[in-house]
């Protein structure tokens, strides 16, 4: 049997300026997004990237009757 040593995950605290920056980016992404999703990428307990994917719905190419 192999024994592995479990280490406690290091939690990183964000300071007020970092939270304000993240909040501004999220607020802007939400205000400009009509359809789609926002993804937060986290590494070592910190948000390192914000992705905004927007979807555009196209009307069908049906012939007018």
pTM over 0.85: no
38 in any annotated domain: yes
More confident residue, 5 or 39: 39
Number of domains in the chain: 1
61 in any annotated domain: no
Measuring CA to CA, how many Å separate 37 from each of 29, 34, 45? 9, 9, 21
Model confidence pLDDT, tens digit, residues 14-65: 789 989 999 999 999 999 999 999 999 999 888 999 999 999 888 876 665 5
pLDDT band at 4 (very low <50, low <70, confident <90, very high): low
63 in any annotated domain: no
Question: For residues 35 and 58, is the Cβ–Cβ distance under 8 A?
Answer: no
What is the domain extent for residue 40? 16-54
28 in any annotated domain: yes
């Amino acid at each position: 049997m192999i024994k592995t040593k479990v280490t406690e995950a290091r939690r990183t605290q964000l300071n007020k300026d970092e939270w304000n920056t993240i909040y501004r980016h999220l607020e802007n992404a939400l205000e400009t997004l009509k359809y789609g999703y926002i993804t937060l990428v986290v590494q070592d307990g910190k948000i390192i990237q914000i992705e905004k994917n927007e979807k555009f719905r196209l009307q069908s190419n049906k012939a007018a009757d």
